[in-house]
Amino acid sequence: MKRVSTFLGTLAWSLLVMIVVWPSHAIQVPELVRSKNPAPNLTAETWVLMDFNTGWVLAEKNADKRIEPASLSKLMTAYVVFQEIRKGTLQLDDVAHVSEKAWRTEGSRMFIKVNTKVSVKDLLKGLIVQSGNDAAVALAEHVAGSEEGFATLMNQHARRLNLANTNFTNAPGLPAEDHYSSARDVSLIAAAIIREFPEYYNWYSIKEYTYNDIKQHNRNLLLWRDASVDGVKTGHTSTAGYCLVGSAKRNGMRLIATVTGTASAKQRAKEVHALLKHGFSSYESQRVFEQQSATAQIKVFKGDHDRLPLGSASPVYVVVPRGQANSLKASLEVPQFAVAPISAGIALGIAKIDYNGSPLMEVPLVALSDVPQGSWWQRAMDTVLLWFE
């Protein structure tokens, strides 16, 4: 193996990544890069601050404690609908019949009328902006035939996203014994929406929506207070208290902050904002590797071409204390050569990321292209050349 070292800040081929496919679980930020700035003192019963790109939890309190998610449940309701649209089983201009059950659903509403037809698009905006419980039930019945069937879909996706402390029994998030989640899990649902459905995520920043001549404002007060905040969802019941998942993006870094069990709408906004400000002032995000970007090249024998680019299969990010990006260093360990045939995606090397001289992470370097076998003449010539390697 040959070894190459370089400071990440000077990498012309720009590479930095936390081994992604984006993590479907949230893990603690490595102690090596934990900021010394203390987290804010909050009144929320549970809370979590997460970096979106890495999935690293920068600060938390009781993040895995089971809580009543209230209308934060509608994050999963929307996620299921988005999945059905992507699969082609549903379209935005499809119309749903409003049942009496949907019309009578208690709590916040978009005020759809019984026995009318409402488009999926309108119902989604009523769900997201107005937090309509009636919209949630109408969508659930349209997608799955019943709210119970829709809850099954919600739980299937919860398991796929590795949500360890989540179970849904209804679409709006009304209190129920077996309906629960956690601050960490609802943050992961929000992250999945942002990551997988950017075309719909911008709906979470809509400040007001009018349906049936009734204008309602988004309950996320941070949309008016901070231009970097672009979502996500509020929740409240008398037993759950006031809850909020908020997300903001600054200078390429996105944070997700969740608080549950606060005393008022103003308090939940204040505490989420405090978490976001703490994250942006204490940390910065660095992309260490671009997806499918050549980091190194190695010689190939017996192939139809003699050079093979290696790189990360997906983008890789790290988070470091603000102002400490120059403390990151990458070293590459790659073989002197490989022998064809070679399939794209096979791991052939490692990039090691250090912080202040200590190991932080390792990233597999994979073949970025196929190398089929060369002609019989090429293979014969390279067989001889390999004797001298």
Kindly report the pTM of this predicted structure. Answer: 0.90
Q: What are 343's two structure tokens?
A: 């399939």
Name the band, by pLDDT with cuts 50, 70 and 90, for residue 376: confident
For residues 351 and 345, is the Cβ–Cβ distance under 8 A? no
Domain 2-17+290-386 and domain 27-285 have a common topology: no
Give the chain's end-to-end CA distance (angstroms, integer).
13
List of long-range contacts for 156-162, beta carbons under 8 Å, 24+ apart: 157/76, 157/79, 157/80, 157/83, 158/76, 158/185, 160/24, 161/24, 161/188, 161/189, 161/192, 162/24, 162/25, 162/188
Looking at per-residue confidence, does 84 or 290 come out higher? 84
Name the band, by pLDDT with cuts 50, 70 and 90, for residue 25: low
Name the band, by pLDDT with cuts 50, 70 and 90, for residue 226: very high
Q: Across-strand partners of 67?
A: 181
Q: Phi/psi at 97 (nearest 5 deg)?
A: -80, 130
pLDDT digits (tens, 9 = 90+) for 277-322: 999 999 999 999 887 778 899 999 999 989 999 999 889 999 999 9
pLDDT digits (tens, 9 = 90+) for 103-146: 999 999 999 999 999 999 999 999 999 999 999 999 999 999 99
Sequence ranges of the domains in the chain: 2-17+290-386, 27-285
- Centre a 10 Å sphere on the Cβ of residue 77 and count the other Cβ atoms it contains: 29
Domain spanning 27-285 has what CATH number? Answer: 3.40.710.10
> Do you know the residue count of the chain?
389
CB neighbour class for 165 (10 Å; exposed up to 12, middle 13-18, buried from 19): middle
CB neighbour class for 40 (10 Å; exposed up to 12, middle 13-18, buried from 19): middle
Domain spanning 2-17+290-386 has what CATH number? Answer: 2.60.410.10
**How far is residue 364's CA from residue 21's CA, in Å, rounded to a whole number?**
13
| Active site (catalytic) residues | 71, 74, 131
Per-residue pLDDT at 1: 52
For residues 209 and 131, is the Cβ–Cβ distance under 8 A? no
